[in-house]
Amino acid sequence: MTSKKRVLVVGGTGYLGQHVLHGFSEIEGITATTPFGLAFTHHPSPPPQALLDAFPQLLHFHVTGHGFQAISRTLAGSGFIPILHLCKILYIFFFPDVVVNCAALSIPRACEMDPAAAMSVNVPSSLVNWLSSFEESSSLLIHLSTDQVYEGVKSFYKEDDETAPVNVYGKSKVAAEQFITENFSNLAILSSSIIFGPLTISPVPKDSPSRIDGVPSKGNTSEFFHDEFRCPIYVKDVVAVILALSKRWISDSKQTKVLLNVGGPDRVSRLQMAEIVADVRGYSPTLIKSVSASSVDRGVMSPA
């Protein structure tokens, strides 16, 4: 039991979270000889049944405003937990080896409308404080950030470029990066661009690429910006980065403090993304209408 490694995915019901769970579950262990315990947290309660059916062996925890200390309180109140199950939970979570934080309020307009909620959700103070409460903490924290921490006035931002977000979403993610780096010593922050890929086991509101092909698939015309650019990245490539960081930490136990910009190799406009999806899906190109980002009021500024 002492060699078993523990992985906690925070926000395991979201788009990336579900893919991360699937990525870890596809391998028998972080290394060829080391099995691991895998669990996730969820905000909706109960978590989607489809996800529970797909991963019946995984532990899951409902985390709300009480924060991650609620997990510890649940463990302490063993009167409501069968003793064998309690021992399993205690073993997995007393010293989590890897924590992948995918939880976020990631809709920019929603963040703009409720800045307090954006800061509360996107700055993982409860998570960091919980991990720091372990006297001999040996966890690697992998935190997902965004390319919207940058102003967006140039192409191909580097990790040492200045952050200058233009909206509340970006500001909350910058605040998260600062909080984590100031309060935790073993971390990897991944600033991702648009993530695309196959749908999840349990549908989520922001499934990708359905956001792009949802309207054309119904035969309706849809507008896409020709002057807003991103570097889209395939979701399984993001998972591969997370798995590689996890394997490295578990294999050599060498603490790290790194910020990585995680984007795909191609810089494309939202219009180009839609045209590619339409071509692959066989939709008529006449359904894709080119417009300028400046012509649409989205209720929130967005980096070009």
pLDDT tens digits, one per residue of 218-242: 777 889 999 999 999 999 999 999 9
DSSP class of residue 144 equals: E
41, 101 Cβ separation under 8 angstroms: no
Q: What percent of the chain has pLDDT over 70?
A: 80
For residue 192, pLDDT over 50 is answered with: yes
Q: In the chain, which segments carry CATH 3.90.25.10?
A: 199-230+266-296
Q: Quick one: pLDDT at residue 245?
A: 96
Q: Quick one: pLDDT at residue 229?
A: 97
Indicate the class that CATH gives domain 5-194+233-265.
alpha beta
**46 versus 263: which is more confidently predicted?**
263
> Tell me: domain 199-230+266-296, CATH 3.90.25.10, correct?
yes
Q: In terms of Cα–Cα distance, which of 94, 103, 96, 147 is closest to 123?
A: 103
Q: In the chain, which segments carry CATH 3.40.50.720?
A: 5-194+233-265
Q: Quick one: pLDDT at residue 201?
A: 92
Q: Quick one: pLDDT at residue 17?
A: 96
For residue 280, pLDDT over 50 is answered with: yes
Average pLDDT over residues 106-110: 94
Q: Quick one: pLDDT at residue 204?
A: 86
CB atoms within 10 A of CB 201: 18
Q: In terms of Cα–Cα distance, which of 100, 12, 16, 24 is closest to 61?
A: 12
Q: Quick one: pLDDT at residue 69?
A: 60
Average pLDDT over residues 254-281: 93
Global pTM value: 0.89
For residue 81, pLDDT over 50 is answered with: no
Exposure pattern of 266-297 as b/e (b: 16+ CB <10 Å)?
eebbbbbbbbbbbeeeebeeebbeeeebeeee
**103 versus 5: which is more confidently predicted?**
103
Q: Quick one: pLDDT at residue 84?
A: 43
Average pLDDT over residues 156-163: 96
Quick: pLDDT tens for 29-57.
555 454 567 889 988 778 899 999 998 88
Average pLDDT over residues 153-172: 96
The pLDDT confidence band at residue 86, using thresholds 50, 70 and 90, is: very low
17, 9 Cβ separation under 8 angstroms: yes
Q: What percent of the chain has pLDDT over 90?
A: 58
Looking at 61-70, 72-81, 194-203, 295-304, which range is the least confident one? 72-81
For residue 71, pLDDT over 80 is answered with: no
Q: Strand pairing of 34-42 and 29-31?
A: antiparallel
